[in-house]
Amino acid sequence: MYLFDQDITITPIGPARYSANISEDWSINGNPNGGYLLALMANAMMQASDKKGTPILTINYLARSMPGPVEIEVAKMAESTQFSRMQAGLFQDGQEKIRALGTFSVETDECFILRYEKSPPDIAPLDTCMAIPELPGYTLYRQLDVRLDPACGGWMEGRLTDKSEHRGWLTFKDGRPFDLLSVALAADALPPPIFASQGMAAWVPTIELSVNIRNIPQTRWLKCVFRTCFVNCGLLEADGELRDGNDELVAISRQIAQYRVIGARPAAGR
């Protein structure tokens, strides 16, 4: 079993109730990665749903969760011929820490029209990109090989750009192929694009993350681009586009996060 599959394992403990353990293996400076937590929640909702196809996933991080045991409660909100709409809550130490929604479709849905009014992202060749190094406390990058286009990865060497954009490549270091749940992880695996223009001057905790999965990747590497265009009132957005090595669209995402200067006192619950 791959480490990722082990770390998103859920165990039934009652009707639509599961126990799980938040692993330390997918953390950013000691905080569980938001995409990893989304994958854990999506796994619980998918297990409770009779439909398993390309989902729309939205997760709200209500309070800070930590590595350790949790319980997940799942409920079906609505059912139709095409979709199952689920919700799930993650509880730790008696407090709800995460609330997620998932809309799962029938797996036999056909693609009646294939039309992309946007070209694939222009990303430098893999062998010329800058690997994100393994850093103490950043266990996520022990598991994932993330390589940034030199045009936007200069912040790792003190060179900033005028645009808050990250383009790069992503894969599992242990060779695990991508599937529905790991795409949820990938949607939050690159550093915040605001780093490209501002450097690591702030902590960027996620408030809400939405991922719309369109296809299962057919290649080992994913091509990713994430952009932030607006930063104000202590908030920013990061819009993501993930494709496989054949330039087939895999997922689109939007993340809303705080932009908090390092050293500032954290708000309650986050």
CATH classification at residue 36: 2.40.160.210
Predicted local distance difference test score (pLDDT) of residue 123: 97
Predicted local distance difference test score (pLDDT) of residue 268: 46
Global pTM? 0.94
Residue 117 lies in a domain: no
Which residues form the domain of 87?
A: 3-107+123-261
- Total domains, the chain: 1
Residue 116 lies in a domain: no
CA distance 266 to 62: 14
The parts of the chain modelled with pLDDT lower than 50 are: 267-270
Residue 113 lies in a domain: no
Residue 92 lies in a domain: yes
Q: How confident is the model over 24-52, as pLDDT tens digits?
A: 999 998 999 999 999 999 999 999 999 99
Predicted local distance difference test score (pLDDT) of residue 41: 98
Predicted local distance difference test score (pLDDT) of residue 32: 97
Predicted local distance difference test score (pLDDT) of residue 73: 98
User: Rounded to 10 degrees, what is the CA torsion of 189, 60, 79, 252?
Assistant: -30
